[in-house]
Amino acid sequence: MTQPTSYGGRPRMPAPGAAAPELRIARIRSHARRLAWSAVVLIAVAGATAYFYDNLPAPFENWMLVSAAAAAVLLLVVLPYLVWLSHSWTITTRRVIERSGFFGSRRQEISHVRGYSIQMRRGVLQRLWGAGTLTLSNGVEPPLRMKNVPQAVLVHETLVDQVEVNQILAHRDSQSFGSGSVGV
């Protein structure tokens, strides 16, 4: 049986019994709105440093001002950005992978083939920004929580589609091998 050619959109279905390649659909980080306070701090520190440079009272010197500004930027701007950057979710055609941790890495996976329930929660601010929290649970492993995912509705629809496609492929492959045909 031949597969129809695909012009854009969804990739072609693999032949029955053939292993489907794992393709990356999306790589997601939590919504960047949590970095808004870091941007405000950076602007305030830059403005305060420029204003007070060479205008400090007698016991203070300029190097003290610059070092305090550098420490504030490091702790309140750079560190939150690195924490945000070190946490991501990758959605592939076979699974969802969560990676987190800057120095010590933590990884959690959940497979589309096994199926899972998807719960979406959206607060008022999350609705305003188009974000949401998705909880993926298959009942066996601990649930995978995707907090503050941008475009949560689109990600939810993508995950539902992937679970459906993977279960159809698994069912098709089990039926073709169960009917007495020999896989190549």
Which has more confidence, 158 or 175? 158
Q: What is the pLDDT of residue 89?
A: 95
Closest alpha carbon to 144 in 79, 87, 80? 87
- Classified as helix, coil or strand, 131 is strand
- Classified as helix, coil or strand, 133 is strand
Show Cβ contacts of residue 43 under 8 Å, excluding neighbours closer than 6 positions. none
Do 151 and 133 form a contact (C-beta atoms < 8 A)? no
pLDDT grade for 1, boundaries at 50, 70 and 90: very low
> Mean pLDDT across the stretch 29-35?
91
Phi, psi of 92 (to 5 degrees): -115, 180
Tell me: pLDDT of 53 over 80.
yes
> Mean pLDDT across the stretch 148-176?
89
Q: What is the pLDDT of residue 72?
A: 97
Cα–Cα–Cα angle for 18, 11, 149, rounded to 5 degrees: 110
> Mean pLDDT across the stretch 106-130?
92
pLDDT grade for 6, boundaries at 50, 70 and 90: low
Which has more confidence, 58 or 146? 146
Q: What is the pLDDT of residue 10?
A: 63
Tell me: pLDDT of 48 over 50.
yes
Do 93 and 23 form a contact (C-beta atoms < 8 A)? yes
Q: Which residue ranges make up each domain of the chain?
A: 24-101, 115-172
Q: What is the pLDDT of residues 108-119, one digit of tens each?
A: 999 998 889 999
